[in-house]
Structure 1
Amino acid sequence: MKTSLLRTAAALVLVGSLAVPASAHKAWLLPSSTVLSGKDDLAVTIDAAASNDLFYFDHRPLRLDNLVITAPDGSEVKPENASTGKYRSSFDVALKAPGTYRVALVMDGVFARYKVNGEQKRWRGRADGLAKEIPADATDLVVTESARRLETFVTAGNPDEAALKPTGKGLELEPITHPNDLVANDEAEFRLLLDGKPAAGVKVEIVRGGIRYRNQLGDTTVTTGDDGVFKYTWPEAGMYWLEANVNDDKATLKEAKERRAGYAATLEVLPE
């Protein structure tokens, strides 16, 4: 009996060690193409999902409520043929004008934890729902503001930079090297901005796609300098995902004591 119990406990420990934490789920946008030539009927299809393995549909779709597509002239483009399934959302972007398009999911919200009659509660949602959703008799209320941006970039014809201008809100990428002009074995240079200012000392994780077919994640971490700049030399062609996160006390909500700002982008690196 004792041996059986020990075996059961060992099995439970093993199962727990194999469980994937929520933080392991990577959220991403994946375009069918990033650089297109020609003049007629140019378009791309973009998938939006969160997964354990980069660019594979194995967890959940991302909602498209906060999708913002910026055209080369700065105007907003509406997605076409948008749909959401069990594991991914998809939409088309018609590239009716030459230049670079910025495709972003901008997700702002709040997370609250509190107690009611001594019982721990949690709530996540939009900032304007905080007052309505949190009970008046709640105690030990802790509110965290969240601002996250997911992006990818697509160019029809020659690349330009009009759509790449920072908004000045949250964590953003300011390309020094154009995001649709990345080549294997070349060094690329980018700047991270936080509320429009250089984000110094921020760690940026860079992961090459295709991790399902290799034993090691193969990720690299670089750190931004005082000017917010980081550099990276692409080891080979393919799709890459980069992510950065910052926690600070710069929340805009008076109820929030902390802000979590995040940024992630999918970039394509072309062969030499």
Structure 2
Amino acid sequence: MTIFIALGDLHGQTETLNRLKMVQAMYPSAITVFIGDYIDTFGMNQGFDLLQKIRYIKESNPLHTVVLRGSHEQAALNFFDGKDNISWPRLGGRKTLRAETQRLSGHQDALHDREFILNKRQDLISWVRTLPLIYKPGDKNKIVFSHLGLDLKSGNPLRDYTYYDDTMEMNLYDFKNYELVFSRNSLGISIVAGHVPTGEIDGKYIDNQKPPKQYSDHNPIYTIQYPNEMPRYLIDGGAIKGNPKILGNIGVFDGETGLLIDRFEDS
């Protein structure tokens, strides 16, 4: 049995790594999968600091660590490449640049200076470029990990996975009559995704097969599952809000069944 520990959407919250150490001690042979969105700085959370720590974890134990690229990392790469000067600053990049520039230079002369951060953090940014978008373990495992989920309307969701537009929409819904409706999962494997705090997700089930998912102030792991189908697990715990008490969710999964077997949450 292969065990996977999944976490993501930490947005600079380095304290989550202490929670991770506790979970890893409980499941010492597990593979840890980071599913994206680390780079932002909110409050005391330091995005580049978290990136560096995650990189160290990966390099220290490469066979048991997988690090995926999230939508915020992709937006940052687009910004540093000069492809999009708007999206990442609006998503938290402006605060990240300000905090990292002040930390590295000791003054405010180079606030929002793309070239300054590129020069000082080129190695780390180059590492982010190498991160995959999706992780599908071997055929014996009925599970896949990605940041955005999968486009279940695609002919081949695993092959066609991409950040397909500038708004980085979730691929978690079908749109019917202008209402968000959870799409079915015909893949025969579980899908673990993040991207939006689970409390903020509103959605209905086809033919009202289950009660609708409504807005909440709490962000526990949420499961979307229709009868006779494999589940989809949404695990974003809401660390993007910058509350230092919110560490984010960690889910533990049995790869052979694709099912959640343990969870560690703030609420």
Larger helix proportion, structure 1 or 2?
2
TM-score calculated relative to the size of structure 1: 0.29
Q: Which has the larger radius of gyration?
A: 1
TM-score calculated relative to the size of structure 2: 0.30
Larger strand proportion, structure 1 or 2?
1
